[in-house]
Amino acid sequence: MRSAISAGHDLTADTALQVLKDGGNAFDAAIAAYLVSFIAEPCMASAGGGAFANVLTADGQLKVFDFFCQTPLNKRAVDELEFYPVDVNFGETTETFHIGRGACAIPGAIAGVFTMHKNLGSMPMKYLVEPAIIAAKNGVIVNDFQHLDFTLLEKIFAASEKGKELFFKDGKVLQVGDTLKMPALADFLDYMSREGESAFYQGEVAEKIVRDYRDNGGQLSLSDLKNYEVVIRDPLQFKFRGKSIYTNPAPSTGGSIVALLLNFLSETPKNQQPWDFGHMNQVREMLEKFAKVGTKPADIAAQLGQFNVFDKYNFHQTNRRGSTSHFNIVDNKGNAIALTTTIGEGCGQFVEGTDIHMNNMLGEAALLPNGFHSWEENVRLSSMMSPTLVLDEHNRLETVLGSGGASRIPTMIAQVLHYLIDYKMELNEAIAAPRMHLEHNKLNVEGGFSHQFDQKNYPYEINHWEGSSLFFGGVHTLHRRKNEWLAVGDQRRDGVVR
């Protein structure tokens, strides 16, 4: 059986492919691809961010590597923080995010890379880091989707001299066809390949972070960095139409919402009506049921019953838009990985001498429902990110998928699985098919359906979109039909395949 890759950027996918060709496994390929995404997809991935990786090994082990961001051990007085709002215009809406050093949580990306390598890797780290070093040094040509992201986050990149140096040219954000270079990141990665994860969490780089944050309104300490740990969890498992679904467990809520949504769908017969009208009503009813439950973990757990796993966690739940990317890799040895990553929108500040943009996880209102600075110390943050694996009735891997899209991630994943499993669509059709999302008393209906809902029949606002949009996620997916892997990158977010 051939290998397959779906990802958010050509260079991310090409890097993974080359590692597989050189004899690496899916996890080697994922490490190299993730590091390359720091330069190829810098609005979504960074050594200053975090991620989740859902893995299946050739011998049948299923694990989730949680290297998402953690809250600091100690809070700093609010009046001492560099913490301020910026408005980001997304076209259909404007959202306010908070940035500055005081908005930054403890990053997990580098620890995740080395923990995955220790547990699953087969090739030398020096080899796996090399593609990212070359890309950072030589540069990556800006494509349409990256330019769109740079434009959206222009105010955040403009918050520091380093951001202006890297992401602006002649007073404007980099345009399509320009080259983004991160030479200091290349130097850091080379240093990291020799020193290991301590290159970030201890020593000179850690001391730079701590000194900068101490003197300029941040909250990260040397103890925060030294004590960060990757958590390897058992995935959340549930059944849908005889399939076994494995996804992101607590303390994140995204996987449990996928489980809840598919549980609602399972209450209705398969293929009750022809595709389009039948799907629209099935999914609308599913979304309405979910809206009544809400996103509070205790309420989700109560609905799921046997999945009541939240009571032992004291965590925050996020409903963010975020800047998120995802990729999937399966190899011909039987290994598979789905990895989703984010830096929020970034805090606007870069680590001196490294070109590393730090996250702003503590600067988003929806992440902190009790108000800014209400977070508890030393807590792993929650997320909607839901890298997901599906095993068929014979316990063979059938689907690997995940998405960006913040609060829409679970609903988009559930709908793609609905298309694939209930309607048995071809993979490209299932990814291209229009989607819906109900939130804040508004049902957003993506363009492409032949039927429209009549506003007078529903107690919430109906927003019919004219076409497809990245608002409805980017569900990059691998799917097995018989013994052949098919791959589709969601064009809503310029997905690519190899």
8 Å CB contact between 143 and 494: yes
Residue holding tokens 């599906």?
390
How far is it, in rounded angstroms, from Cα 410 to Cα 402?
9
How far is it, in rounded angstroms, from Cα 494 to Cα 478?
16
How far is it, in rounded angstroms, from Cα 255 to Cα 150?
29
71 as an active site residue: the answer is no
How far is it, in rounded angstroms, from Cα 226 to Cα 203?
10
**DSSP letter (8 states) at residue 359:** P
Coarse DSSP helix, strand, coil percentages of the chain, rounded to the nearest 5 percent: 40, 20, 40
Going by C-beta distance under 8 Å and a sequence separation of 6 or more, which residues neighbour residue 364?
A: 97, 98, 318, 320, 322, 344, 345
Strand partners, 325: 341
How far is it, in rounded angstroms, from Cα 453 to Cα 462?
7
Which entry of 324, 354, 388, 411 is annotated as an active-site residue?
A: 324
Nearest 10 degrees: Cα torsion 207, 210, 216, 220 = 160
- The H or E element spanning position 301 is helix 297-304
How far is it, in rounded angstroms, from Cα 36 to Cα 28?
13
Residue holding tokens 């809206």?
291
In this structure, the strands spanning 236-240 and 84-89 are: unpaired
Q: Which residues are catalytic?
A: 324
